[in-house]
């Protein structure tokens, strides 16, 4: 079995690649290597007969087609995307190009490759598209998103992912492509890009800089440990029926201010400051435009039909994450050298 993973050098993608190879699956990683990609995430797989890397843009039709022809995958796990909300506010068209046009080009390459397969292989070929709960907009104080939630994206990023979801659905219905779409809540864990919330808190604290929280830190997110999500994706790839959709959540809702304090408490224990507590560094900053108040996912269908549940309690996952950063100072140094630490984005059009 050969699995084509797009965006495999990214945070979630690399977790999927590592788990798939550990299961004995041959993986081809198609990655453009944008600023958010980090080949170091997969350094341990270099030289493995189960791993191949293809540097290419999913929006390049000729390059995408060539990858299919060279490797003949039996399934695609599509994770390649621009994913940072703040960057989408500053430059929305890059998200349209990567997430909407890129997905359409990849779908076309998949359909054309599938059409040339003999019947048994053609019927089994699968395109699994990985999306986000942000396509559903914001929740109030009650309720959770599930597979029947209506689309109501509120950021350019969320809108671009919603559009790509609908393209996958359309290609499935129109061309008979075996598709699966899954949504997830906020991922966290080791190796995450420094611009994301959890690394921002940890790295700001370690450097003694103010820890920035948007607004009053009241926005609530449901946190899913990245290795649990990778397991969910590979389970769905194997067990989900064609055309199905699943929502994967961590069942770990917490307000941003409370999450920041929990991370600071871990740091206080593992690497105490010379004076004061890390939480003293928390600083409220101007809110993100259109900032959704709350996200949460109900994963009960995935539990019932796929036998998947999140394994990692939030506090355990947070400690693993903090320990990873403490054990890998070179990754922080590399991110700082590339100008990826400490910059505020998403205010250009505020």
Taken in order 8, 12, 14, 20, is the CA torsion positive or negative?
Answer: negative
Relative to beta strand 126-132, strand 186-188 is unpaired
- In the CATH hierarchy, which fold is given to the domain comprising 2-188+225-252+290-311? Rossmann fold (3.40.50)
* Token code pair at residue 39: 């080949």
Going residue by residue through the chain, which has 350 residues, state the pLDDT in tens, using 9 for 90 and above.
999 999 999 999 999 999 999 999 999 999 999 999 999 999 999 999 999 999 999 999 999 999 999 999 999 999 999 998 999 999 999 999 999 999 999 999 999 999 999 998 999 999 999 999 999 999 999 999 999 999 999 999 999 999 999 999 999 999 999 999 999 999 999 999 999 999 999 999 999 999 999 999 999 999 999 999 999 999 999 999 999 999 999 999 999 999 999 999 999 999 999 999 999 999 999 998 889 999 999 999 999 999 999 999 999 999 999 999 999 988 888 777 876 665 555 455 44
Task: Look at residue 343 in the predicted model and tell me its pLDDT.
Answer: 59
User: Which positions are annotated as active-site residues?
Assistant: 133-134, 157
Phi and psi, residue 31, nearest 5°? -145, 135
**Model pLDDT, residue 279:** 98
pTM over cut 0.75: yes
Question: DSSP letters of 7-64?
Answer: TTTSHHHHHHHHHHHHTT-EEEEEE---TT--GGGGGGGTT-TTEEEEE--TT-HHHH
Please tell me the predicted confidence (pLDDT) of residue 350.
Answer: 44
Name the DSSP class of 246. E
Give residue 309's Cα distance to chain centre: 18
d(C-alpha 148, C-alpha 145), whole Å? 8
Task: Give the start-end residues of each E strand in 43-153.
Answer: 51-55, 75-78, 126-132
Place of tokens 């990567």: 98
**41-to-28, 65, 319 alpha-carbon distances in Å:** 15, 26, 19
CA distance 91 to 113: 33
């Amino acid at each position: 079995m050969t699995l084509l993973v797009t965006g495999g050098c990214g945070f979630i993608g690399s977790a999927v690649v590592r788990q798939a190879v550990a299961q004995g699956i041959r993986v081809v990683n198609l990655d453009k290597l944008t600023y958010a990609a980090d080949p170091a995430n997969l350094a341990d797989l270099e030289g493995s007969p189960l791993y191949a890397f293809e540097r290419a843009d999913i929006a390049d039709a000729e390059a995408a087609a060539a990858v299919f022809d060279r490797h003949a995958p039996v399934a695609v796990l599509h994770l390649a995307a621009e994913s940072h909300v703040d960057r989408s506010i500053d430059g929305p068209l890059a998200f349209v190009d990567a997430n909407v046009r890129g997905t359409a080009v990849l779908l076309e390459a998949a359909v054309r490759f599938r059409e040339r397969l003999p019947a048994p292989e053609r019927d089994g070929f699968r395109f699994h598209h990985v999306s986000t709960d942000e396509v559903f907009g914001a929740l109030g104080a009650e309720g959770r998103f599930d597979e029947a939630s209506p689309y109501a994206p509120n950021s350019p990023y969320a809108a671009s992912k919603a559009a790509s979801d609908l393209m996958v659905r359309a290609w499935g219905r129109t061309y008979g492509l075996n598709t699966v779409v899954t949504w997830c809540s906020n991922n966290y864990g080791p190796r995450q890009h420094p611009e994301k919330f959890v690394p921002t808190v940890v790295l700001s604290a370690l450097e003694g800089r103010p820890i920035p929280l948007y607004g009053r830190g009241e926005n609530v997110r449901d946190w899913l440990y990245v290795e649990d999500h990778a397991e969910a994706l590979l389970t769905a790839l194997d067990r989900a029926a064609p055309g199905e959709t699943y929502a994967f959540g961590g069942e770990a809702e917490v307000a941003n201010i409370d999450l920041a304090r929990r991370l600071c408490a871990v740091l206080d224990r593992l690497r105490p400051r010379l004076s004061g507590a890390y939480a003293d560094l928390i600083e409220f900053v101007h809110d993100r435009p259109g900032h959704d108040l709350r996200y949460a996912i109900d994963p009960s269908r995935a539990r019932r039909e796929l036998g998947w549940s999140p394994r990692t309690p939030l506090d355990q996952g947070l400690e693993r994450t903090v320990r990873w950063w403490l054990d890998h100072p070179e990754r922080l140094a590399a991110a700082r050298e590339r100008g990826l630490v400490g910059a505020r984005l998403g205010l250009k059009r505020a």
